[in-house]
Amino acid sequence: MECRLGCGACCIAPSISSLNKPAGERCRHLNADNLCAIFGQPERPKVCADFKACAWVCGSSNAVALTNLIELEQLTS
């Protein structure tokens, strides 16, 4: 599936060690429109580039994506 631009759930729910970002906190690079401010730039972590939207995680709404990603984070932490 295509990423729902402006969702931002995958930039909030997971912890991202290379950014020193705890789970559940907005990434400091996530702008007010919930878009990545460093998209396409070399400082964007590889883990971000590797994460692809998929229906079973991102679901049908931003709220569903956030819920699924919080659950996944808890399962894998």
Chain positions contacting ligand SF4, by CB under 6 A: 3-4, 7-11, 16, 27, 29-30, 36, 38, 44-45, 48, 53, 58, 65
Closest approach of Cβ 77 to ligand SF4, in Å? 17
Closest approach of Cβ 51 to ligand SF4, in Å? 6
Listed in sequence order, the residues at least 6 apart from 69 whose beta carbon sits closer than 8 Å to its beta carbon are: 9, 10, 12, 13, 14, 57
Selection from 6, 26, 7, 8 nearest residue 16 by Cα? 26
Closest approach of Cβ 63 to ligand SF4, in Å? 10
Structural element, H or E, at residue 67: helix 62-76
How many angstroms from the chain centroid is the CA of residue 65? 9
